[in-house]
Amino acid sequence: MEFDDPAIHQYLDVLDPDGLNALPFGAVGLTGGNIVEFYNTFESQLSGLAVERVVGRHFFNTIAPCMNNYMVAGRFDNEPSLDVTIPYVLTLRIQYTPVLLRLMRQPDRSRRWLLVRRG
């Protein structure tokens, strides 16, 4: 499965944890309230944040405050349907990392997805 696959949202919700952990990019599954339900191994290894530390916490307030703005968190909160890829710079531990973020939200699905591709 590729980061820019137009139909990826159809697969993300049905993949088991092993399948999600095998993805070659970061995948973060969020509830409607932006609580982390899933944080894959790829993202955990690159961010240095253990899955156990992330799951169950508010993503934008406690895990990724650098994304708590109108470009990322605001879009999840204000757009009922969303599938957009944006260039972004993560600022984790004062290290700047250019990435592509793919934000996905569908009105008929409870889980939102934030995908992260580095490099």
State how far Cα 41 lies from the chain centre. Answer: 12
Buried b (16+ CB within 10 A) or exposed e, 68-102: beeebbebbeeeeebeeeeebebeeeeeebebbbb
Encode the chain (119 residues) as per-residue pLDDT tens digits: 899 999 998 899 899 999 999 999 999 999 999 999 999 999 999 889 999 999 999 999 999 999 999 999 999 999 999 999 999 998 866 678 899 999 999 998 889 999 999 97
pLDDT at 96: 85
pLDDT at 9: 86
- Which pTM was predicted? 0.94
In this structure, which CATH number among 3.40.50.300, 3.30.450.20, 3.40.50.12240, 3.30.420.40 belongs to the domain 8-118?
3.30.450.20
Query: Nearest-CA neighbor of 80 among 110, 58, 100?
Result: 110
pLDDT at 97: 87
Measured between alpha carbons, how far is 59 from 55 in angstroms, rounded to an integer? 9
pLDDT at 94: 65
Q: Cβ(58)–Cβ(34) under 8 Å?
A: yes
Q: Would you call 75 helix, strand, or coil by DSSP?
A: helix
Domain positions in the chain are: 8-118
Measured between alpha carbons, how far is 35 from 49 in angstroms, rounded to an integer? 16
Measured between alpha carbons, how far is 30 from 44 in angstroms, rounded to an integer? 15
Residue type, 42: F
